[in-house]
Amino acid sequence: MLNLTIVVPVKNEATNLWACLDAIGAEFAERVVVIDSNSNDSTCQIARDWGAEVFHFKWNGLFPKKRNWFLQEHTPTTRWVMFLDADEFLSPAFKQELAHTLPQSELSGYWLRYSVYFLGKELKYGYPLDKLALFRVGTAEYERVEEDQWSSLDMEIHEHPIVQGLVGKIKSKIDHRDMRSVSHYVSKHNEYSSWEARRFVAQPLANAKQDFTLKQRVKYALVESPFAGIVYFCGAYIAMRGFLDGSRGLAFALLKASYFTQIYCKIRELRAKDESNGQDLS
């Protein structure tokens, strides 16, 4: 059993949660914790029936959000902590690699790699989905973004974990089995793009760039440009061979390109509104 706490933040995840917990297994990690945001389905009962610890989180619209709240208010006593979404399932290969890696590791954190599903099937090409979701307790927190109640997202979505120390990679993938509809995908990315734009306008990123990866630095260097979506599309569809996924690869690249274009447009819109308000005040 690994000296590890696995944390699953949830809200109305009755459909996925049991399978997610079952994939972890009762003998893999010392602690499995579910943090619930006022679910109105059977999510909490499922977590308890499986044997997970359940914490309840109610966000007040300010810092901290769900993951940082857990790290600060319920700091794990294990050496490692990993955050896992309810639609992410640990594969046998991932668990085997983690069991081999963590006991002898001297690193502070690990990037994890995930499968990507779109229109019911896994995409084999395009940009990989990576998240820094596993780190040594006490070495990391998610970056502080002062939202002042301009977002309804109670969990860190695009806030980046800031890890003190060296970071490695786990090669085996976690199965990210997101099978929700295209309508849900579009709706969530509309919400995410609004958050990205507001965050960019409200809080300059220059002071945090030293903590970003190359991909993150490129993203934020381009986000103020109308070419951001085009650059993403060329990278995902051509350089990363998204075209080999056929029509699904093309549609996915176009949707993601549209997402970056939305961020650019919303930044322009917010700045124009701020300028107009400033003129009115004067």
- CATH code of the domain covering residue 99: 3.90.550.10
User: For 22, what's the count of Cα atoms within 13 Å in the CB-facing half-sphere?
Assistant: 7
- Please give the pLDDT value at position 61: 85
pLDDT at 183 (0 to 100):
96
Number of domains composing the chain = 2
Q: What is the pLDDT of residue 282?
A: 46
Over the stretch 255-274, which tens digit does the pLDDT of each residue have? Answer: 999 999 999 999 999 999 88
On whether both 236 and 214 belong to a single domain, the answer is yes
For residues 272 and 209, membership in a common domain is answered with yes
Q: What is the pLDDT of residue 191?
A: 92
Q: Which residues contact 167 (CB under 8 A, 6 or more apart)?
A: 107, 108, 109, 110, 111, 132, 135
Which tokens belong to 108?
């502070």
Q: Pick from 123, 148, 179: which residue ends a domain?
A: 179
Same domain, 63 and 172: yes
In the chain, which stretches have pLDDT less than 70?
Answer: 148-150, 204-211, 278-282
- Domain stop point among 161, 179, 197: 179
The pLDDT, as a whole number, for residue 279 is 59
126 and 259 assigned to the same domain: no
Residue 71's Cβ-side half-sphere holds a number of Cα atoms within 13 Å equal to 26
Which is it for the CA torsion 181, 183, 184, 189, positive or negative?
positive
Largest CA distance in the chain: 65
Q: What is the pLDDT of residue 7?
A: 98
Full residue range of the structural domain in which residue 220 is found: 185-281
pLDDT at residue number 280: 59
Among 179, 204, 235, the domain boundary falls at 179
Q: d(Cα 259, Cα 53) in Å, to the nearest integer? A: 36
Same structural domain for residues 53 and 170?
yes
Does residue 197 share a domain with residue 169? no
Q: What is the mean pLDDT of the chain?
A: 92
Between β-strands 53-56 and 29-36, what pairing exists: parallel, antiparallel or unpaired?
parallel
